[in-house]
Chain A
Amino acid sequence: MSHKDALVSRAGTSLCILLVTLTLGVGSAFALTDEDCLGCHGDKAMTTQKDGETISLYLDADTFKQTVHAGNGCVSCHVEADVKGDEHPFPMTPVDCTGCHEEIGKTYEKSAHGVAMAKGDKFAPKCQDCHSKHDILKPTDPRSTTYPLTIPFTCGRCHQEGSAMTATHELNKHNITQNYSMSVHGKGLFESGLIVTAVCSSCHTAHDVQKASVPTSSVNRDNIIHTCNQCHVGIVDKFNKSVHSPLVTKTDKKLPVCIDCHTDHSIAQVHAKDFRLIIAKQCGNCHEHYSETYLETYHGRASMLKGGERTAKCSDCHGSHDIMPAQAPTSTINTANIVKTCSTCHPNANLSFTTYLTHATHNDKDKYPYLFYTFWAMTGLLLGTFSFFGLHTILWVPRSLIERLKAMTRGH
């Protein structure tokens, strides 16, 4: 399309000029119509050079008409282009979305992305890096870069090993996208097609993305319970009554939040093998002694072998969100309830049966003298037997060799 044709096209669309001017309040006495712009930018061949690269300046008007900004004229974003002359200034300053999306702009400015941007970090994402430029669609549109199924890929463009960003930025967490894909959320999304499942922005928010160490971050320890509760309704009520809740236990020690037990990106379904096999380890991060001694008993030993997800784990006996110490009447391991708890796996269990020490160790003489002395009596028996017969055997070796040689010389 030549410039002459473009001028003709401009003249025929005076109604649109008025409409755009009134609607958007650009305030310019003269306003370009989209057709005016497309006069040049509708040409697929239109390109420019930037940093030695050829950049297309073509706009697919048909696609644009389907986007959320279809009703906005070009110049409502590209305000500098709204000049009377034939050519607008070039290059233009980047589009500023905050003209309309003011609140989001303020939020973004304070986010980790926005702060990095202000510092001149060339990898800090601008609006269009996540939302695209002209192809912005509603998040409910499957073609949108912010459609739930697409978000992990959108964020993963940077937050993934091997991305351009990792050349200058250290990743705080590793294999996020792989771990997410294997997690209950990722499987729910990619395998079951549950677009209501948690994606990156569900936990990290879309525009207020902050590092977990920032107190106001949605994934900060102090806020994560609220974040998870957005979907997992009701669990926080149970949790608030449990021994792990700061409302119940007043302590200087660190109390656990959702991610301490469930992990974050690799979060697994609680009945799944992946999760059941890490329970003892997760609880052991704080309850080290109980975790270690559990692993010395049958339940713990068997849990280390193939199929071990089936044996009793911490939460099978102690409960999970509503966990309470043994002396509390509601505790699953309180004397009033423990027979019922054991009976889940051991039908007809009785009170005597429940005195089995599920965290026993023979290394604690004061706490478990029976086990301590039994172990050392057995060890004494082993040492005694092997010492005698070991000596017997060692002394026999040279004699036996001589006997064999004798037999060979005799010709047997």
Chain B
Amino acid sequence: MSKTPTMYVERFSVFQRFIHLLIIISFLTLAVTGMALKFAMEGWAALIADWSGGFAVLGALHRFCAVITFFYFFLTMILLYTTWKDSGKSLFGFIFDPEGLVPNLTDLKEMIGTFKWFFGGERPYYGRWIYWEKFDFMAVFWGIAVIGSSGLALWFPVQFSKYFPGYWLNIATIIHSDEALLAAGFIFTIHFYNTHLRPEKFPLDPVIFVGSISVAELKHERPREYDQLVASGELEKIVTRRAPTVWLQRMATVFGIFVVTTGSVLVVSIIITMFRYIQGGH
């Protein structure tokens, strides 16, 4: 439209994108292999087991991806540590940074504002992290703590029972599998919708793979962050004419759509199964 070239800013660093890639690969595999066991009596679960080579293969993949999960948790800790060091803030100041990832009062106000926006009000003055994004981030921490600890107990049941009663393994099974149902169900419906499938973004928001977004998009999506970058003079320093390369965009599209489709198929299978159980009185 105009002759001014499109300008871009980086939203996710290479390291952050790499961590998210690890999350995608491990989470999707964990969900598929785990749900096949949880819903073993279903035809779709049998198909997964048949394709993969049997439940022992599913178990091996599940444990391998558990290791990846602990690994990206560790990488995220490094990321947070270096970000904190670079910010020059106190630990408290970093954690409770108004523009940081920990939810605060502004998020509550924005959430109320968002509901008003749904019914025709003004679009809230969103910053770098919107409350549903913060929820996603915090949920992974909670999820790894709950699913990870119960999963380790189930992985090493004999060792676990040296310190805790053996029947706690039954409790761990329920917690592990239902928390995983929550996590998979949430990511494959709510996160997919919020980030990719809602009409504004459909079918995919590639920013987590390509890293950068246009300045115009930033200004529209996250006006507070844009205004802060302009006010501090930071925008001029980070803005670039370099768009994500075409091959990167293509790979992002193919991979992203594959993952979103796989997750959606799994969650639809689970939902159909759950409805059948509720109808059948299980």
Contacts and interface: CB of A to CB of B under 8 A. Distances in A.
A404 B197 CA distance: 12
A346 B202 CA distance: 49
Q: Interface majority SS on B: helix, strand, loop or mixed? A: helix
B152 to A, nearest CB: 15
B157 to A, nearest CB: 6
A411 B164 CA distance: 63
Contacts of A370: 167, 170-171
A300 to B, nearest CB: 8
Interface stretch (B16-24, B49-57, B242-250): B49-57
Nearest to A384: B182
B49 A307 contact: yes
A371 B157 CA distance: 17
A213 interface: no
Interface string B197-217: 011101000000000000010
A305 B200 contact: no
Contacts of A297: 170, 173
B185 A352 contact: no
Contact of B166 (A295, A352, A386, A411): A352
Interface string A375-406: 10011011001100110110111111101100
B178 interface: yes
Contacts of A353: 157-158, 161, 166
Contact of B55 (A302, A348, A368, A392): A302
A270 to B, nearest CB: 21
A379 B179 CA distance: 9
Given A393-B193, A393-B194, A404-B199, A356 B157 contact: yes
Contact of B161 (A310, A352, A399): A352
A301 B165 CA distance: 22
A386 B119 CA distance: 21
B118 A382 contact: no
B9 interface: no
Interface string B1-45: 100000000000000000000000000000000001110110001
A180 B178 CA distance: 44
Contacts of B129: none
B117 interface: yes
Contacts of B178: 375, 378-379, 381-382
B75 interface: no
A400 B199 contact: yes
A73 B102 CA distance: 107
Range, interface on chain A:
35 or more
A374 interface: yes
B266 interface: no
Contact of B174 (A362, A386, A389): A362
Contacts of B41: 295, 301, 304
Interface string A219-238: 00000000000000000000
B159 to A, nearest CB: 8
B46 A355 contact: no
A306 B50 contact: yes
A353 B159 CA distance: 9
A385 B186 contact: yes
A399 B157 contact: no
B241 interface: no
Contacts of A398: 118
Nearest to B46: A305
Nearest to B185: A386
B115 interface: yes
A302 B37 contact: yes
A371 B171 contact: yes
Contacts of A374: 171, 174-175
B181 interface: yes
A389 B119 CA distance: 16
Nearest to B177: A378
B199 A403 contact: yes
A368 B185 CA distance: 27
A360 interface: yes
Contact of B118 (A355, A357, A381, A399): A399
A346 B37 contact: no
Contacts of B237: none
B53 to A, nearest CB: 7
Nearest to B178: A378
A350 interface: yes
Nearest to B282: A363
Given A382-B181, A404-B200, A356 B55 contact: no
A297 B166 CA distance: 14
B169 interface: yes
A305 B157 contact: no
B175 A378 contact: yes
B44 to A, nearest CB: 12
A58 interface: no
Nearest to A308: B55
Contacts of A390: 189-190
B178 to A, nearest CB: 4
12 contacts: A306-B50, A306-B53, A307-B53, A360-B167, A370-B167, A371-B171, A379-B178, A385-B186, A393-B190, A395-B119, A397-B198, A404-B202
Given A298-B154, A311-B55, A353-B161, 19 more contacts: A301-B37, A301-B40, A305-B46, A305-B49, A305-B55, A306-B53, A307-B57, A356-B170, A371-B170, A374-B175, A378-B179, A378-B182, A386-B186, A386-B189, A390-B190, A395-B118, A397-B199, A398-B118, A404-B202
CB-CB nearest 8 A-B residue pairs: A307-B54, A355-B166, A378-B178, A305-B49, A353-B161, A304-B40, A305-B55, A306-B54
